[in-house]
Structure 1
Amino acid sequence: MDDLKILGSEEWCRFDDLGIPAIKARVDSGAKTSSIQASKIKVFNKGLEEWVRFEVNPVQDNRSISILCQAKLVDVRNVKSSQGIAEERPVIRTSVNIAGKSYEIDLTLANRDTMEYRMLLGREAMNDRFLVNPSESFIQGDITEEQLEQKYKPYTTEKKGLRIGLLASNPNLYSNKRIIEAGEMRGHKVVFLNVEHVYMKLDASTPEIRYRGGNILDKFDAVIPRIKPAVTFYGCALLRQFDTLGVYCLNSADSIGRSRDKLFASQLFSKNDIHIPTTGFAKSPMDTKDLIRMVSGAPLIIKLLESTQGKGVVLAETNKAAESVINAFKSVQTNILVQEFIKEANGHDIRCFVVNGKVVASMQRTAQKGEFRANIHQGGAASKVKITPEERKLAIKSAKVFNLDVAGVDLIRSNKGPLLLEVNSSPGLEGIENTTGKDIANVMIETIERKLKYKH
């Protein structure tokens, strides 16, 4: 027992066989199995043996440092994640160097992007070798940021741009062309990926994403989703698969899905003290009259839950008209929201473009004569606007509720102060860039660079 070395709650490890000069590990005797961050995992045959190829980003929050590794596959184990979910993980056996001495250990390969540490050292690897003092850190020696940078210098000297996928449906749309242009101007490779041409292989050991023709999409650092409403379900499934493979998504599948469920979104706004026009929802036509009274009567707005760009939105001028429209929708089993009409807005609303928690541009939209919808797609006109601190705060908070890195937040000015209309997870760039003169596509690419800690 006296010969056992003592480890702190975190220590530095080195893997010579994998080419990893230093990786910070969480030392956890409560965990049975050791694991290391791995993405783009691919099992292949080497002679008569099964091997596994994988990519490691050994420095937390820095995807620009990437090491391609391979090792013999020794097992596939069912491991319970920190969330209590059982997962099948490939297992390799390799040599780890701790405190100047090498030990052979088993490592499971796992996506640890959401974890604080890129590696976990479990008790199987420590049995009869180490004791743990959880009150201390780096008992066997610390590594400074400068030393770590020096160790990884060979991996970062030849700087290449990022490889970014643009997941959308139409490469000719202004927004998509601008994003590709902005990415290429900053030295990155931006590849257009048609949502409906991408498909996936669901497998615990070798998950894949492929493109029509069979090409495996395994070289991407980031994906920008520009998913139209009609393919939300499939597009979000693809984003979850990219996330599984360790690819950063500018707007996650969960964020997009939550923002596009108008009823759930309205409930989230209420829960987070975000003020919206009074809104009602009911299933039975028996409740229609009370629903109308609940939102202060006509004139009122009736919205399809799946509406976008001002489509599926109706203004009912009288209670009788509102009752007829609501009951007509309900007779064909169509879900709708009934919403208070803000007359004092006078056909104006404000679009705030939020990127990475900041309002980077804003414009006022004005409905054309005889129209109440200010959406550009409905013929609305755009102009510059100076938003108030309260409006800025509301826009940022609204995007944050969904954890959206990019959002178009629509507000309306009322006698009660600014009210939120909706949050768009794939906001268009044409109207706001042309109105404000701001290069928003470039800001989006810069956000990806910051998230991946990419430096020119």
Structure 2
Amino acid sequence: MKTIIGSEEWCAFPDMALPAVKARVDSGAKTSSLHAFNIHPFRREGNLWVSFEVHPLQNNRRTVIRCEKPVLDRRTIKSSSGTTDTRYVISAPIKIGDDIWTVELTLANRDSMGYRMLLGREAMEGRLIIDPSQSFILGEISDEEINTYYGKKDESKNGLSIALLASNIDLYSNQRILEAGNERGHNMTFLDIKQCYMKLDAKEPEAHYRGGKLLNNLDAIITRIKPSMTFYGCALSRQFESMGVLTTNTSDAIKKSRDKLFSLQLLLKSGINIPTTGFANSPMDTNDLIDMVGGAPLIVKLLEGSQGRGVVLAETRKAAESVINAFKTLKANLLVQEFIKEADGKDLRCFVIDGKVVASIQRTAAPGEFRANIHQGGSADIVKITPEERKLAIAAAKALGLTIAGVDIIRSKNGPLLLEVNSSPGLEGIETATGKDVAGMMISSIEKKLGWKRQLGNVEKNTLQQV
């Protein structure tokens, strides 16, 4: 006899020390998926295994359970948002209600999806029937029971005072950074760039926030300044630097990265290879400019563009002339760059922190697009970069003085070429694809620079003992 379940139910994985995980029941999904991050494959007695960490509770990243399981397979999965990625597949006993049976699970970072577990139809076949109008038919789990299973969440904050200087608190990247700091016990504050102002004084420089709040007790500032706020955001960063506050990316480094022409000149000076690029300010030089980069097809870029905006592929010489002259009529600064056909609409995003590549993905352009960009509907997959590509990414961040950077690289027949360096790289694509806690790594960087060590309380110690 089949068991009736609701659209969401509590489940457990006894052999992974996960006594309570809230699952979304979805018959439209074939495979079940478990939230996992810091996913690392390894060999045990000649067999492929995978280690990973799980945040079993929604809206709680302080409770962490570490698991290890043999790998059954690796599969390409298309998410509900349309992006594809390759995931490890494991099997594990699942307990729902009074029944226990073995199911296959793909491992994926589900932070942006809410539920830590998705129960697909393969796991339900022959056993379960869904009543979508109900929830938790097989029983709820109280907060007291959750605290018994995992330990009560410690809300005390005895860490550093860290502010995130940005423009939109609702962005995934900003939310993740705030959460990563909070879960490590730091006092996190969001500062809207437009709401900050400053007092210029040689002896007592000050920064103020909306309502006259004095920002004089901060240990560090995480600078995530959008392109349209570069001038004022960098001015604020310089102010905090003059006050002795650590800034993750300095105002000087951000300014260098935002000036595409200047940044490319600095990169070339450091011996970093880029696609052949031209720059001019006279319509009379258009033809020679096109020849300079090898003719059409070619790329035309606005100097002020970001996240793939202001980038045009001119497939013919006539189209290139039209685009270049149109931009010049608007008095817009632009670059022209050779088109690397063999890249086939793909590029690499390397996330660099403190001179190390901590995560990397390959981005593939959406159909009809030429540039690999997940902001424009492209997809992201885990990729193993070469030593040469790793060296290039690290050198590029260093050349611009960036502690945190998203370095974009394209693979050509002549080796890797540097496309651009982003001083405020997004986290959603790279965390989702790799399962790595990149936001946490950013917080750890600040901790190391300030010599701060986390003091484990009883709850954290008990959690570690369970693992």
The equivalent of 1:256 in structure 2 is 254
Q: 1:191 corresponds to which letter in structure 2?
A: T
Amino acid at match of 2:305: S
* Aligned residue among 353, 361, 367 for 1:369: 367
Report the Cα distance in structure 2 between the residues aligned to 1:194 and 1:370, rounded to whole angstroms. 36
Partner of 1:444: 442
Asked if residue 413 in structure 1 is aligned to residue 411 in structure 2, the reply is yes
Counterpart residue number, 2:377: 379
Greater relative contact order (CA < 8 Å, ≥ 6 in sequence): 2
In the TM superposition, residue 185 of structure 1 has moved relative to its aligned partner by 1.1
Deviation at 1:204, TM superposition (A): 1.4
Give the corresponding residue for 1:388.
386
What's 1:208 paired with?
A: 206
- Which residue does 1:186 correspond to in 2? 184
Query: C-alpha deviations, 1:396-429, integer Å up to 9, x for none?
Result: 0000011111000000000000000000000000
Superposed counterparts of 1:129-140, under 5 Å: none
> Matched residues in 2 for 1:330 and 1:429: separation?
34
Q: Give the Cα separation in 1 of the matches to 2:159 and 2:189.
A: 13
- Hey, what does 2:271 align to over in structure 1? 273
Deviation at 1:206, TM superposition (A): 2.1
Matched residue, 2:348: 350
How many residues are paired up? 299
2:239 is matched with which residue? 241
Structure 1 residue 174 displacement after superposition: 0.6
Instruction: Give CA deviations for 1:164-194 in whole Å, capped at 9, x if unaligned.
Output: 0000111111111111111111110010000
* Structure 2 equivalent of residue 135 of structure 1: none
Counterparts of 1:385 and 1:206, CA distance in 2? 49
Structure 2 residue 325 is matched with structure 1 residue 316? no
> For each residue in 1:86-126, what CA deviation from the matched residue of structure 2 results, as whole angstroms up to 9, or x when unmatched?
xxxxxxxxxxxxxxxxxxxxxxxxxxxxxxxxxxxxxxxxx
User: Structure 1 residue 454: deviation in Å?
Assistant: 1.0
For 1:222, the equivalent position in structure 2 comes to: 220
Query: Does the residue aligned with 1:423 lie in a helix, a strand or coil?
Result: strand
Q: Return the alpha-carbon distance in structure 2 between the equivalents of residues 165 and 269 of structure 1.
A: 30
Match of 2:337 in 1: 339
Distance in 2 (alpha carbons) for counterparts of 1:270 and 1:227: 25
In structure 2, C-alpha distance between the alignment counterparts of 1:320 and 1:303, rounded to whole Å: 17
The separation in 1 between residues aligned to 2:401 and 2:264, in whole angstroms, is 15
User: How big is the shift at 1:199?
Assistant: 0.3
2:44 corresponds in structure 1 to: none
Deviation at 1:160, TM superposition (A): 3.2
Q: Which runs of 5+ in 1 are unaligned?
A: 1-158
- Structure 2 residues without counterparts, runs of 5 or longer: 1-156, 455-467
What does the per-residue CA deviation read over 1:347-378, in whole Å, with 9 as the maximum and x for residues that have no partner?
Answer: 00000000010000000000011110111111
What root-mean-square deviation, in Å, do the aligned CA atoms of Structure 1 and Structure 2 show?
Answer: 1.1
Looking at structure 2, the residues matched to 369 and 249 of structure 1 have their Cα atoms a distance apart, in angstroms, of: 39
1:328 aligns with 2:288: no
Distance 2:392 2:318 in 1: 35
Q: Distance in 2 between matches of 1:447 and 1:206?
A: 28
Deviations 1:306-325 (A, max 9, x none): 01000000000111110111
Distance in structure 1 (CA, Å) of the matches to 2:212 and 2:427: 32
Q: CA deviation at 1:289?
A: 0.3
Letter of the structure 2 residue corresponding to residue 183 of structure 1: G
Amino acid of the residue matched to residue 252 of structure 2? D
Give the TM-score, by structure 2 length.
0.63
What amino acid is the match of 2:400?
F
Identity of aligned residues (%): 68
Q: Secondary structure at the residue paired with 1:239?
A: helix
Aligned partner of residue 251 in structure 1, secondary structure: coil
Computing the radius of gyration from Cα coordinates, the structure with the larger value is 1
Give CA-to-partner distance per residue, 1:210-253, whole Å, 9 cap, x none: 00110100010000011111101000000000000000000000
Question: Residue 435 of structure 1 aligns with which residue?
Answer: 433
Structure 1 residue 328 displacement after superposition: 1.1
Q: What residue in structure 2 maps to residue 27 of structure 1?
A: none
**Partner AA of 1:204 in structure 2:** A
